[in-house]
Amino acid sequence: MSGQQPLIQLTGVGKSYHEGDAEHIVLHGIDLDIRRGEFVALLGPSGSGKSTLLNVIGGIDAPTTGTVAIDDIDITALSERDRTLFRRSHIGFVFQFFNLLPTLTVEENILLPLELNGMKTGASARAHELLDAVGLGARADSYPDRLSGGEQQRIAIARALAHDPPLLLADEPTGNLDSETGAHVLKLLQDLTRATQKTVLIVTHSAEVIRVSDRVLRLRDGSIVEDTAP
Ligand code: ADP
Ligand code: MG
């Protein structure tokens, strides 16, 4: 039965900031269901609320109103600590600026989400499996600053998928890469997530990603103004 339930269910999700007396509304009461296994592209101009929406879905940011349920769990009702634990086990994040930890090696970066989830045996083998999957098996002992931007993002993708989360959120993952490297990274992200039937929500401007997506959402001024299947 639970397989029929959407993986992501947003009900009346609003987010606003107060600046002095003014209220700046960033998300306007968003209702949204995303099914398990859907690959969804999120579009919209700068400032339309894409990152805010992703962060609210990922439990990094709390909405001002409404509820966010992931895998039938209302994450907006969880304590900070429980939400962190939930995020660690259910969600992988890929960011525009990679966000690898500079003092850890590539392998250690990938091991981190496994260790945080309490995986003791098999973690190193899992990390190497992921490194091979992103074509960087030879760079396990390198530090992130020794890698190109494209390589760092491939490592970040491996890290995001290491703990096998059902949901991958990616916020302009190629925004800091040249177009050829970006295309390669996006293809890898698609291939790895399709192969493991992940649900993916990706902020992107890539026409190629939009073309292969199951669904395209467009945000404008904090509202979803388009919801289509390409
Ligand atoms: P996008 O990712 O689509 O470019 P964002 O979600 O980053 O948009 O931002 C949407 C709006 O929310 C912007 O107007 C931005 O200035 C505002 N915003 C984001 N974070 C904050 C914050 N911490 N405080 C005040 N305003 C914010
Ligand atoms: Mg953004």
pTM equals 0.95
CA atoms within 13 A on the CB side of 80: 1
Give the ligand whose atoms come closest to the C-alpha of residue 55: 1
Q: What tokens were used for 11?
A: 């009900």
Rounded average pLDDT over 12-36? 96
Residue 24 β-bridge partners? 17
User: Percent of the chain, pLDDT > 90?
Assistant: 91
199-203 and 223-228: which strand pairing? unpaired
* Nearest-5° Cα angle at 27, 25 to 33: 165
Residue of the nearest CA to atom 12 in ligand 1? 26
Cα 174 to ligand 2 centre (Å):
12
Rounded average pLDDT over 161-185? 94
2, pLDDT greater than 70? no
The Cβ of residue 146 has, within 10 Å, a number of other Cβ atoms equal to: 12
Q: What tokens were used for 179?
A: 């177009």
Q: Write down the pLDDT at residue 119.
A: 87
Residue type for position 222: G
Q: Which residue has the tokens 């919209």?
A: 44
89, pLDDT greater than 70? yes
Give the ligand whose atoms come closest to the C-alpha of residue 19: 1
Cα 48 to ligand 2 centre (Å):
8
User: Percent of the chain, pLDDT > 70?
Assistant: 99
Whole-angstrom CA distances from 9 to 5, 68, 83, 107 are: 9, 6, 16, 34
116-168, pLDDT tens digit by residue? Answer: 888 888 999 999 999 999 999 999 999 999 999 999 999 999 999 999 999 99
Residue 97 is classified by DSSP as T
Testing ligand 1's pocket by substitution, the residue of 17, 64, 219 carrying the most ligand atoms inside 8 A of its CB is: 17
CA atoms within 13 A on the CB side of 49: 25
Backbone angles phi, psi at 218, to 5 degrees: -120, 125
Rounded average pLDDT over 108-115? 94
* Nearest-5° Cα angle at 126, 122 to 131: 150
What does pLDDT average to over the chain?
A: 94
Testing ligand 1's pocket by substitution, the residue of 52, 201, 203 carrying the most ligand atoms inside 8 A of its CB is: 52
CA atoms within 13 A on the CB side of 177: 26
Q: Write down the pLDDT at residue 3.
A: 52
Show the ligand 1 pocket: residues with CB < 6 angstroms: 17, 24, 26, 44, 46-52
* Nearest-5° Cα angle at 58, 129 to 81: 95
